[in-house]
Amino acid sequence: MDLLVGLGRTLGSSFAATPVRAFRRRFGRKSSVGGAAAAFVAFLAVGLATQPQVLARPQQQQPPPVDKQVQPPIFRGGANVVRVDVFATKNGEPVLDLKAEDFEVFEDGAPQVVDNFEHVQIQGGGPAETRVEPRNVRESNQMAADPRARLFVLFLDTNHVHRAASRNVMRPLTNLLTRLVGAEDMIAVMTPDMPASSVTFTRRTDKIADMLERNPWWGLREGLIKKDPVEQMYEACYPPEPGRSTSAIAQEMIDRRREVQTLGAIEDLVRHLDGLREERKAILLVSEGWHLYRPNRALAELQQPRMPGVFVGPNGRLTGSNPNTPAGMANSDCDRDRMMLAQIDDERRFRNMLDEANRANASFYPIEPRGLVVFDTDLGPNPPLSPEADLASLRIREEALRTIAEATDGVAVIDSNNIDAGLKRVVTDLSSYYLLGYTSTNSKLDGRFRSIKVRVKRPGIEIRARRGYLAATEKEMAARAAAVAPVVDEATTAVTRSIATLENFRNDAALRLAVSAGWWTPTGEPGSAKPTGSEPALWILGEVDMRPRPGGDDWSQGGEADVAITNAAGETVVRYTVSMAPNSGRFLSRFPRTIEDVWLDPGSYAVKVRMKPAAGGLPSQDTARFDLPKAPAAGTFVLGQPIYFRRGSAAVAPDVPTADRRVRRTEKLAVQVSMSLPADRASAELLDRNGKPIPLPVAATTVERDAVRWARAELSLAPLAAGDYVIRITIERGTDKIQMLAPFRIIP
C-alpha cells in the first residue's frame, strides 16, 4: 500500500491534503511502506480533466482557564518584541503564585523590562466528543494561532522506531492525550512522510487515540520491514556479502536517507509552526534517536564492483537489464545517491535545527518508546554489532534526544520502563506556565543569536525558559512588512489555479472528453484561402470508463466515435468518425487531420463526441467547449495546451493518451505541448501543490512529428507519494521564455 502524504479528512473534518524541500527526489519523503504501517499513515492521509494553466512570459473562541487575578494582556508585535514562556517548579511541582515583579529577564546580559505578563493554567481531560472542531484548514490555523490555546504536534518518527516499540508506547500515548490536551488546545499528528503544510490541528483527542489503538504497528526501523522502491534499488545495486541480507553499503545509504527524511520533516514542521504563532509550541517526538551522520569519504570514494552485465529475464532468456532493479532506476542513480548521501552533515543540520526551534519558540519532548534499552541494534537478519559498537550507537541516539530536549527547554522521557510515569512529568510541565513579554533594548536587525536568561527572585524555584532567539534581519523585516499588505505572487497563484482545476474532474463519468488547442505546421502547397506557417489545431481525446460494472458496455471489440465541431451559432462545421482499437476505450484525433480539411477560424467552438462500442450497448456522449486562438504572427513563439500520456513501468510500454489527470505511482507520466516555432531549449521541473520545486528529475525533449513541433516532459512517479503535483515546462527560443503548467494527482 502506498504511503500517503498529508493529513486530511481528519477526525470528522474534511481537509485538503498537500506535498517539501531539498533532497525530496530520493532523500525526501518515502513513498511506500508495508503492512499495518501503511494502513496507519493512510488513516492520517487523503489525496486531494481540466484545462492546465499557462504562465505568462517573464515580465472568537472562549479562552482556556487562566489566573483570574490577572487581566490577559495585549501583546504588541514588532522587530524587537520578544515573548518568553517560563516554567517554574519547586520540588518537581509547578509554582502557581508568581507575579511579574518576581521575574528578572536578561538579554545578552542586559536587563529587560517585563511589560506584559500572564499566568496560564490549563487542565486537560473532559469529554473530547463535545469539543468544537474547526471546519476547514483556515479555521484550524486560526484556532491554532490563539496564544492562550496550547499547540501540540505528535511527531511519530516512523523511520526510527521499531514495530514492537510503537506498540509498546501506544497506551502511554493515549493516556498522555487524555491528561494533557484541554478543551481549547489544538493537536496534530505528523510523520516523516508528510509535508508540514498538510498538518491539520484538531481538538478531538479521542479520534487520535482511536487511530493509535487501531494502528499500533507503525514503526519501520527493523530491516525486515518492506522497503520503498529507492531502498530496493540500493539493495539491488550493492548486493549483500555472504551472511548478510543487505550489504553494508546499501544499509548505510538507507540509514542516511531515512535520517535525512526525518530531520528534513522536523525542520519543515518547525518553520511551519513558526509561521502559525509566536507563542510556545510543544512537539511530542516519539523516536529512538539518530546517529547524526557526518560526511563519509570512504562511502563517497567507494569502488564497488558493478554487477555483471548479463542477466536471466522472467522468460528465461539472457538480457542486459537487471530484473531486480526497480523500473526506471539504474546503477547511475545509485552512484549519484551514494555520493550525495556520503556528503551529508546531519550533525551540523541538527545544530541549525535547534537554533531554528529556539527562534520559533518550539520545544521538543522526546519519548523513547522502547523504555529502558539494553541493545540498540537488531539481532538479525544482518550480523549484529559488537557490544561496544552497539553501546556507542545507543548512547549517540539517546544523546541526540536529550540534546533536542535540553536545547529547546523540553523534557526527555528516556531510560525508563515506566513510560507512563515519565509522560506525567510532561503533563505537569505543560499544565502551568508564565507568559512574559518585553521590548528588547537591542533594536539592531543583525540576524544574530541573542541569549535570554530568566531569573526568579524567590529562592528554591527552578526556572526553564527559552535560551535565546535569532534576531530578525532587515530583509526579514521587509518581508514582514510586505506580508501586512501582501503582494500577489503570480507564479504561486498560477500553480494554485492549476491545482484547483483537478477538482473539476469526475471519477464516475462514463466518458471523459478533453480538447487541447495547439499548433501545427502543415507542409506542401496550401489550398485556397489556407495561410502558411503555424496554424491552430485541436487534439480531441475521448476516453470511456473501462471498469467492469453490472450491465456495462463491452469495449473488448473496440468501437467508433462520432466527432462533431460546431461554431458559436450552433452550426456544424465538420463531422467525422474515428475508430477505436479493441480494449482501448479511447481515441486521440487531431483536427485538421490533413491540409485538405476545413480550416477553423478563430473563435468559440464546441466539440460533441458520441462513442459507441462495436459489441453493442448504449453510446456515451459528452460536449467540450473551447476558444480557438488566431494564428500567431510570423516569428511569434507560442505554445499549445498540454496533452497527457501514461504508460507502465516496462521500458517497452507504449504511451497511452489519457483525459484522466489521476495517475498511480506504478506508472510513468508524460506531457506534450505543441510549439509554433522550433525551440532552442526545453526543460521541466516538478512542483508540489504550493509551488515549491521537488528535486526529482523530469526529462525534457523536443521533437518534430506529423507536422507538429512538440516539447515533451516525462517522469517516473515511483519516488512520489499520493497528492497533487504540477509539471512546469519551460521552453526557450532566443529571448522568449514561456512556461506551461500541467497539474496531476497521484492516487493510491
pLDDT of amino acid 72 = 35
> Terminal CA-to-CA distance of the chain, rounded, Å?
7
Question: For the residues 269-295, what does the mean pLDDT come to?
Answer: 90
Using the 8-state DSSP alphabet, how is residue 337 labeled? H
Comparing 551 with 447, the larger pLDDT belongs to 447
268: which 3 cell numbers?
519543515
d(C-alpha 330, C-alpha 13), whole Å: 43
β-strand 54-55 against 318-319: which pairing, if any?
Answer: unpaired
Residue type, 356: E
In angstroms, rounded to a whole number, what is the distance separating the alpha carbons of residues 228 and 38? 11
Report H helices in 277-361: 297-300, 331-342, 346-360
Cell of 620: 456515451
Strand partners, 450: 469
Domains of the chain and any CATH numbers: 122-412 (3.40.50), 508-629 (2.60.40.2550)
Whether residue 319 is predicted with pLDDT greater than 60 in this model: the reply is no
* Per-residue model confidence (pLDDT) at position 58: 38
Q: How many other CB atoms are found less than 10 A from the CB of residue 126?
A: 13
Of 403-412, 471-480, 572-581, give the lowest mean pLDDT range: 471-480
Instruction: Please check whether residue 285 is in contact with residue 404, taking contact to mean a CB–CB distance below 8 angstroms.
Output: yes
> Mean pLDDT lowest for which of 38-47, 203-212, 593-602?
38-47
**Helix pair angle (346-360, 248-276), 10° resolution:** 10
Cα–Cα distances in angstroms (integers) from residue 718 to residues 47, 228, 552, 663, in the given order: 16, 9, 32, 11
Please report which confidence band the pLDDT of residue 463 belongs to, taking 50, 70 and 90 as the band edges.
confident
Q: CA triplet 40, 44, 47: central angle to 5 degrees?
A: 115
pLDDT interval class at 322 (50, 70, 90): low
Model confidence over 359-380: pLDDT tens digits? 888 999 999 998 888 788 877 6
Q: Sheet containing 362-367: give its strands across.
A: 186-190, 151-156, 281-286, 362-367
Q: Does residue 563 surpass a pLDDT of 80?
A: yes
| The pLDDT of residue 551 | 57
Q: What is the CA radius of gyration of the chain?
A: 30
Strand partners, 703: 710
Model confidence, pTM: 0.55
Cβ burial of 295 (10 Å; 0-12, 13-18, 19+) is: middle
Share of the chain above pLDDT 90, in %: 25
pLDDT score recorded for residue 81:
78
Residue 2 pLDDT greater than 50, yes or no: no
Question: 419: part of which helix (H) or strand (E)?
Answer: helix 419-431
Q: Given a cut of 90, is residue 565 above it in pLDDT?
A: yes
Query: Which residues have C-beta within 8 Å of that of residue 561, sequence separation ≥ 6?
Result: 542, 577, 578, 580, 587, 589, 609, 610, 611, 612
Lowest mean pLDDT among 68-82, 203-217, 405-419, 614-628: 68-82
pLDDT at position 419, please?
82
Per-residue pLDDT tens digits for 6-33: 333 333 332 333 333 334 444 555 444 4
Q: Which three cell numbers stand for residue 306?
A: 558493478
Residues 6+ apart with CB under 8 A from 489: none
Residue 609: is its pLDDT beyond 70? Answer: yes
Compute CA distances 358 → 139, 274, 694, 710, whole Å. Answer: 26, 10, 27, 51
pLDDT at site 520: 87
Query: CA-CA distance, 604 to 599, in Å (whole number)?
Result: 14
Q: pLDDT (tens digit, 9 = 90+) per residue, 673-695?
A: 999 899 999 999 999 888 889 88
Q: For 545-688, list the strands marked E by DSSP.
A: 559-567, 572-580, 586-591, 603-613, 620-628, 643-647, 656-658, 662-663, 668-675, 681-688
Task: Check if the beta carbon of residue 425 is closer than 8 Å to that of residue 413.
Answer: yes
Instruction: Please name the residues in contact with 223: beta carbons below 8 A apart, sequence gap of 6 or more.
Output: 245, 246, 251, 378, 380, 381, 382
**Helix or strand run (H / E) with residue 207:** helix 205-214
CA angle 292, 268, 286 (to 5 degrees): 60
User: Which helix (H) or strand (E) is 730 found in, with range?
Assistant: strand 723-733
Contact 567, 598 (CB under 8 A): no
For residues 561 and 648, the model is more confident at: 561
Maximal C-alpha separation, the chain: 100
Contact residues for 298 (Cβ-Cβ < 8 A; gap 6+): none
Mean predicted confidence (pLDDT) in 147-168: 88
656-658 and 708-716 beta bridge pairing: unpaired
CB 540 within 8 A of CB 563: yes
Say what the pLDDT of residue 301 is.
83
Q: Which helix (H) or strand (E) holds 420?
A: helix 419-431
For residue 528, the model assigns a pLDDT of: 45
Q: How many other CB atoms are there within 10 angstroms of residue 214's CB atom?
A: 12
**pLDDT, the chain, mean:** 78
Residues in the chain: 748
Q: What is the rounded CA–CA span in Å between residue 544 and residue 540? A: 14
Q: What is the pLDDT of residue 19?
A: 31
For the segment 587-615, the average pLDDT, to the nearest whole number, is: 87
Q: How many percent of the chain have pLDDT more than 70?
A: 77
Rounded to whole angstroms, the Cα distance separating 707 from 532 reads 12
Q: What is the mean pLDDT of residues 147-156?
A: 84
| pLDDT of 3 over the 60 cut | no
| Residue 223 reports pLDDT greater than 70 | no
pLDDT at 132 over 90: no
Q: What is the pLDDT of residue 24?
A: 41
Residue 344 has pLDDT above 60, yes or no: yes
Asked if residue 643 has pLDDT above 60, the reply is yes
pLDDT value at residue 258:
94
Q: How confident is the model at residue 486 (pLDDT cuts 50, 70, 90)?
A: very low
In this structure, what C-alpha cell is assigned to residue 154? Answer: 505528535
What is the structure's pLDDT at 731? 93
Q: How confident is the model at residue 635 (pLDDT cuts 50, 70, 90)?
A: confident
C-alpha closest to that of 433 among 235, 151, 212, 21: 151
Span 249-276, pLDDT tens digits? 999 999 999 999 999 999 999 998 888 8
User: The C-alpha cell of 197 is what?
Assistant: 503544510
pLDDT value at position 350?
A: 95
Nearest-angstrom CA–CA distance, 197 and 284: 18
